[in-house]
């Protein structure tokens, strides 16, 4: 299976090569992907899912995970789990070799994903996706 190249719509540095093993086997409720990040690339825009859970397992290479604005060095054997509504996160390849990881998670019919650094929110309903400005938080 050849990898599919994708670029995140809110982050041109978030370029990944993805093999969707779950789609290949007909899974619809659970995503399981083999992802490769080339040096200097990011996995996605810094984000958090309000309803879906996801996890990442590093197979090879080195990089940095930013979780709740804290930087963590990551490498082979490292595992990160992100509960719904939990910490915002992203991953980048800071090494000189490809960073290869497994990304797995739920595939709910509806999800909301916040991109706090961009001030944006994604509403997803099936294949329909809309990106809007994040609502202003009230100051009490």
Question: How many angstroms separate the CA atoms of 53 and 90, rounded?
Answer: 14
Separation between Cα atoms, residue 139 and residue 65, nearest integer Å:
30
Taking CA atoms, 24 is separated from 1, 19, 44, 53, in Å, by 9, 9, 22, 21
Domain ranges of the chain: 4-108
Give the closest residue to 4 by CA, choosing from 25, 29, 34, 28: 34
Furthest-apart CA atoms within the chain: distance in Å: 53
Task: Check pLDDT > 50 for residue 52.
Answer: yes
pLDDT at 57 over 70: yes
What CATH fold (topology level) applies to the domain 4-108? Jelly Rolls (2.60.120)
pLDDT tier, 138 (very low <50, low <70, confident <90, very high otherwise): very low
Asked if residue 63 has pLDDT above 50, the reply is yes
Q: Model confidence over 81-116: pLDDT tens digits?
A: 999 999 999 999 999 999 999 999 999 999 999 999
Q: What percent of the chain has pLDDT over 90?
A: 94
pTM tops 0.75: yes
Query: Cα angle vertex 33, ends 30, 39, to 5°?
Result: 150
């Amino acid at each position: 299976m050849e990898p599919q190249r994708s670029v995140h719509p809110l982050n041109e540095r978030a370029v990944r090569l993805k093999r969707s093993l779950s789609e290949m086997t007909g899974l619809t409720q659970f995503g399981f992907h083999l992802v490769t990040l080339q040096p200097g690339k990011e996995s996605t825009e810094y984000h958090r899912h309000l309803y879906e859970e996801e996890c990442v397992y590093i197979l090879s290479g080195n990089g940095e995970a930013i979780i709740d604005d804290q930087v963590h060095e990551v490498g082979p054997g490292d595992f990160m789990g992100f509960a719904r509504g939990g910490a915002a996160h992203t991953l980048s390849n800071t090494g000189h070799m490809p960073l290869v990881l497994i990304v797995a998670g739920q595939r709910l019919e509806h999800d909301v994903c916040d991109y706090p650094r961009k001030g944006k929110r994604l509403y997803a309903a099936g294949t329909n996706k809309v990106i809007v400005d994040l609502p202003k938080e009230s100051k009490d």
